[in-house]
Structure 1
Amino acid sequence: MVITSLKPEDEIFTNTLSIMPSNFSMYENYHTALTQTPLIQFMINGVIVTIAIFLSQIVVAVPAAYALSKLEYYGKEVIFIAVVACLMIPPQVVSIPWYLLMYKFGWLDTYEGLVAPFTISVFGIFLMRQFFNSVPTDLVSAARMDGFSEFGIVWKIMVPTAIPALISFGVFSIVAHWNDYFWPLIVANSQEIYTPPLGVVAFKSDEAGDSYGPLMAAATIIVAPLVICYLIAQKRFIEGITMSGIK
């Protein structure tokens, strides 16, 4: 992808194998990628949507995971089984009910429509529950004796200890929704709220053919933030996965 983004059009379609281009067209391809479509605006939209989804998922997943891990009540195991069962439901199955709900709420072609269906992450609940299982129950009991409410324990005791798990989940969540093409394609009708994957499609032309140089340049620009974020968070990411008991 990166090498193709540096090549001129004639070298991309040559019948000979060449790793590095003979004539670099980096400026032309990247300039076209940034000017032919508002790619920067698409990336800003992607940041807004992915961060909003991640924060809303944390607000729901952390208390739910705490309730499934540290509270005792009738039917807890049944609820946990139901949560795990929801992991097997692909988003395409519920896309029509989602779309109808967004239509009823008036959220089609809005940020709310892009964010709302993903505010609950069953994977996030499962991952955080597995991590909370590794936290000593004595720590929770001591916090209760000190007068902490259950919500106080969640946000002041459990969350600080779960930073590695939160970072791990953040990597999964941000990558998944930054790259999501299916749902934004359905909900977003105007370029003002297009996310990065929709922006890449602008370089596809059924009549003139695909502009592979600018297309690969745009894809490189879109992928680069994810690679950088993972390299920064990789230590915590691995720590969160290993400590949550997921193999």
Structure 2
Amino acid sequence: MTAMRIKNLVINLALGAGGLVMLLPFAWMLSLSLKPENEIYTPDIAFLPREWDFANYVEAWTVGYAGTFVINGVIVTLGILVLQYLTIIPAAYVLARKNFRIRGLIMSTVLAVLLIPPQVTAIPVYMMLAEARLLDTYAALIIPFASSAFGIFLLRQSFRTVPQELIDAARMDGASEAYTLWFVVVPQVLPALAAFGIFSVVTHWNDFFWPLLVVTSIERATPPLGISIFASNEGGNEVGPMMATATLVVMPLVIAFLIARRRFVEGVTLSGLKG
């Protein structure tokens, strides 16, 4: 028993040390965002500011367009997530619960799409958006990601764990196929939906490559692109406002994860129980 306790203690200490190493850059970012300029350019290392200064956040929100970046990020990530839910839920349900001749072929195609880097299809998609005159719009940031092969695969695994008796009972009560899907089956896989939602929001909130291609104005810039533009405009000299902008960009993700963390863990754990 003593050996087991020592083993658990060592594991917990190792995990704690790893967590501290990962959190250290974020703690330093937050510290710099709250320091006046005269405290930033000093040889001393101090996490807590001697004088708490929120002027960096005011400058980031007004001069640095941090508010615009955050609002654009919310619009784009939520728009993508809603469209993805509307497309991947029916697709995953059909692949999980319906038997038809080419189901295996379609599933193999979905898995093959997972192996294709998004950069491969970037130029053709860009040209189509340019022909449709959709560049530098929210549509250009949202439409190319209206579905997700990873989401279809994840939800298919979860749909396969739903008892068939539950679906049969809904049909015996006269429920339509659509009602059965959205009001009977979907509530059973909410953890997987939450897990996919976190993956989707984090991925597209932090996406820099695609917005860099299709966005040309600061009014449509998403958070990572906006930070890059702000840093370029300021020449990298305004460290405090840049750290404040980065903090404002990171905070929505942290809050979203804290709200959905239990569902996220459940979804990642349970979605692989049945192949």
TM-score by length of 2: 0.83
Q: Between Structure 1 and Structure 2, whose CA radius of gyration is higher?
A: 2
Q: Partner residue of 1:28?
A: 55
Aligned to 1:129: 156
Which residue number corresponds to residue 42 of structure 2?
Answer: 14
Aligned length: 245
Matched, 1:244 2:271: yes
Change (3 A) 1:153 1:179: same
Going from structure 1 to structure 2, the CA distance change for 1:228 and 1:41 (only over 3 Å counts) comes to same
Aligned to 2:257: 230
Match of 1:3 among 31, 42, 51: 31
Q: Which moved more, 1:156-165 or 1:202-211?
A: 202-211
Pairing of 1:111-150 with structure 2 (within 5 A):
111-150=138-177
Q: Distance in 2 between matches of 1:245 and 1:209?
A: 45
Q: Which amino acid aligns with 2:193?
A: L
- Compare 212-221 and 194-203 and name the one that shifted more: 194-203
- 244, 259, 266: which one pairs with 1:217? 244
Cα distance in 1 for partners of 2:234, 2:77 equals 33
Report the alpha carbon displacement of residue 101 of structure 1 after superposing the two structures with TM: 1.3
Partner of 2:4: none
The aligned residue for residue 101 of structure 1 is 128
Q: Which moved more, 1:196-205 or 1:119-128?
A: 196-205
* Aligned counterpart, 1:77: 104
Q: Any idea what SS the aligned residue of 2:121 has?
A: helix
Gap regions ≥5 residues in structure 1: none
1:68 aligns with 2:73: no
* AA in 2 matched with 1:157: V
Alpha-carbon distance change, 104 to 203 in structure 1, aligned in 2, over 3 angstroms: closer
1:51 to 78, 98, 116: 78
- Counterpart code for 2:175: F
The 3 A distance-change label for structure 1 pair 207 and 179 is: closer
In structure 1, C-alpha distance between the alignment counterparts of 2:36 and 2:177, rounded to whole Å: 61
TM-score (norm 1): 0.92
Q: 1:245 to 1:208 in 2, by over 3 A?
A: closer
Root-mean-square deviation (Å): 1.8
Q: Please identify runs of 4+ aligned residues in structure 1 that moved more than 4 A.
A: none
Q: Shift in Å at residue 218 of structure 1? A: 0.4
Letter in 2 for 1:124: G
